[in-house]
Amino acid sequence: MGSSEAVSDLDEAAGAALVPPAILRGSARGLEIVVHGQAPTDAIVAAVAERLAEAPTFFRGSDVRIRVDAGPLAPGCLSRLDAIAGQFELRIVEVGAAVKRGTSEDAVPVPNLAAGSAPAPASGASAEPAPADPVQASVVPADAAVLPESVEPVAIDLEPDIELVPDTRVLVGPVRSGVILEHRGHVIIFGDVNPGAEIRAEGNIVVLGRLRGTAHAGIGRDVGFILALRLEPQQLRIGRLVARASDSDTPAAVPEIAHVTDATIIVERYLGRLPGSLAASL
Amino acid sequence: MGRAIVITSGKGGVGKTTVTANLGTALAQLGHSVVLIDADIGLRNLDVVMGLENRIVYHLVDAIRGKCTVAKAMIKDRRSENLWMLPASQTDDKDSVTPEEMRSLVCELKHTHDFVLIDCPAGIEQGFKNAIAGADEAIVVATPEVSSIRDADRVVGLLAAADVPARLIVNRISQHLVKRGDMLSQSDVIEILALDLLGTIPLDDHIVATTNRGMPAVLEGKSLAAKELNRIARRLSGLEVEDHATGGFFTRLGRALGLSATPA
């Protein structure tokens, strides 16, 4: 969710008739379809089909997130959207409420952070200082850009939530050779997990350090992920799957995440968000 | 009241006994009163490395069983002032002593000596538990090999569980092998074990020769390994606070030019 997205009252002010029933847009996480919840189902479906037909091959195979603007979707709408997505070989991985933003993508300029021109929160109380004072102009914008989201929490946009088991276990490493740590929930470790150590969790495993031992996530659930700042494990297990580092692999010096896709353990760079296929499976 | 320090490693053959013999000798030469305990019951060899094998009459198990006094079982090393050794039994096994008995023995020796160095057997079973029972602190010896580090890591975990603070000696490091990329470096070892470093002992042929002659290398004191062992002893006794890893100007200059024996 780009914190640069501006919140404004424009869309409330604008008549529903001005709002298109559906918009396709690219986001940092892939393709998004923003649906106007008040629009008739037929109109929505038609609009989506029309937009997708404009470039039938361009989106093929992508993951799609549906954002519902202004109210819930009419019953049956989602299944019709799903059918259309199927036609274009798209996969709906997530449905959630839209982050409120200007009616038209093009009409609302992305706030220029450097100039500190992010719009004030929806309350309209403009606390924005004139960028005359160079010191303020350079300091305030960061806050100003963050404010809109904190004013209007978009918790639903974080879905799918990882259920935070009450007894998520947080511990400080290093977890040394010979230690077997078993836990029913998620495990978060500040520090290294050394070779010869093993972490077993029914939930997910996050290592804020080097994971050089063995980690087994998603025991009995077959879904889950293992995330580490340096993923150099002896062995990774998720559910009933086992993977081991290939002998030729030189470990990447970046955070990586291991998860299950198509009954295979996949390791990829962790870029600050859960991979789409993983997010869909949680 | 002295300090009881256990020298341990998990893996065998990494140099525990040699380090114990040399550190003990070096500490005694610094003027401390030192007793070395061989806790490797059944496989004693500290006496061999110290060259005191032929003087053993009583041993640790005798002293604990009350067959003799502790003082009588201790052998005085005549080459150094204030250096004694308490040999292990060769016929008993590790279960013939309990951790409580070791603890009270070590406690007794701490009253009369500045340093009690305990040479721990390899492994993590009863012998290890006995050896660490009376220790206030531990020195973990690791060689730059994956297997040694793995075992050392396990041992560090067990020491932490027993509330014994540990420091690290990296033994038998060869700078030219490290430079060629054929050996783990000192920092690789530290990175995994996450322990304070007491010192790094270079791989040195001299150690092999002196060990076989039953003459601790620090008594001759010329070799690189002996110098480093002396330095570790000074650091252990709090005489040398300067960290050799940063070193003085000439050390750093030498290292920059690739001349230094001690690793960066």
Tell me what pLDDT residue B90 has: 92
CB contact under 8 A, A176 and B154: yes
Q: In Å, how far is A187's CA from the nearest CA of chain B?
A: 19
Handedness of CA B250, B253, B257, B259 (dihedral sign): positive
Of residues A174, A177, A192, nearest to B150 (C-beta): A177
Of residues A176, A192, A212, nearest to B156 (C-beta): A176
- Going by their DSSP bridges, the two strands A241-244 and A205-211 should be labelled as unpaired
State whether residue B150 sits within 8 Å of chain A by CB: yes
CB contact under 8 A, B192 and A178: no
Domain B3-256 falls under CATH 3.30.720.110: no
Per-residue model confidence as pLDDT tens digits over B107-151: 999 999 999 999 999 999 999 999 999 999 999 999 999 999 999
Lowest mean pLDDT, pick from A195-204, B179-188, B244-253: B244-253
Q: Where are the domains of chain B?
A: 3-256
| Complex prediction ipTM | 0.77
Q: Give the CA distances from residue B127 to residues A54, B6, B124, in Å, rounded to whole numbers and listed in that order.
A: 77, 12, 7
Q: Does residue B263 carry a pLDDT above 70?
A: no
Q: Give the CA distances from residue A137 to residues A5, A7, A78, A273, B128, in Å, rounded to whole numbers and listed in that order.
A: 19, 20, 45, 31, 65
DSSP-derived 3-state class of residue A237: strand
* Torsion region of B127: left, alpha or beta (phi above 0 gives left; psi -120 to 50 gives alpha): alpha
Tell me what pLDDT residue B27 has: 97
DSSP-derived 3-state class of residue A150: helix
DSSP-derived 3-state class of residue A89: coil
CB B86 within 8 Å of CB B63:
yes
Burial category of A56 from C-beta neighbours within 10 Å (exposed 0-12, middle 13-18, buried 19 and up): exposed
Q: Does residue B83 carry a pLDDT above 50?
A: yes
Rounded Cα gap, residues A193 and A174, in angstroms: 6
For tokens 């603070």, the residue is: B165
Set of chain B residues whose Cβ sits within 8 Å of the Cβ of A176: 153-154, 156-157, 160
Tell me what pLDDT residue A227 has: 96
Tell me what pLDDT residue A18 has: 59
Tell me what pLDDT residue A236 has: 95
Instruction: State which H helix or E strand residue A216 sits in.
Output: strand A214-217
Set of chain A residues whose Cβ sits within 8 Å of the Cβ of B195: none
Of residues A179, A192, A196, nearest to B150 (C-beta): A196
Q: Give the CA distances from residue A13 to residues A6, A21, A110, in Å, rounded to whole numbers and listed in that order.
A: 15, 16, 20
Q: Give the CA distances from residue B238 to residues A138, A265, B77, B198, in Å, rounded to whole numbers and listed in that order.
A: 52, 52, 24, 11
CB contact under 8 A, A176 and B153: yes
Q: Which residues of A touch B (CB under 8 A)?
A: 174, 176-179, 192, 194-196, 212
Q: For A191, which residue in chain B has the nearest alpha carbon?
A: B194
Of residues A174, A195, A212, nearest to B194 (C-beta): A174
Which has the closest alpha carbon to A30: A3, A67, A55? A67
DSSP classification of residue A233: -
Residue of A55 and B49 predicted with greater confidence: B49
CB contact under 8 A, A176 and B157: yes
Q: In Å, how far is A250's CA from the nearest CA of chain B?
A: 15
pLDDT in tens, chain A (282 residues): 434 444 343 344 334 445 678 877 766 666 778 887 778 888 888 888 887 887 777 677 777 778 787 777 777 777 788 888 888 777 777 777 765 443 333 333 333 333 333 333 334 344 444 343 433 333 333 333 334 344 444 444 444 455 555 578 999 989 999 999 999 899 999 999 999 999 999 999 999 999 999 999 999 888 899 999 999 999 999 999 999 877 766 778 899 999 998 889 999 999 988 888 787 776
Residue of A114 and B19 predicted with greater confidence: B19
Looking at chain B, the number of H-run helices and the number of E-run strands are 13, 8
Q: For A197, which residue in chain B has the nearest alpha carbon?
A: B154
Of residues A192, A196, A212, nearest to B154 (C-beta): A196
Tell me what pLDDT residue B118 has: 98
Q: In Å, how far is B124's CA from the nearest CA of chain A?
A: 11
Q: What does the DSSP assignment read for A26-48? A: EETTEEEEEEETTS-HHHHHHHH
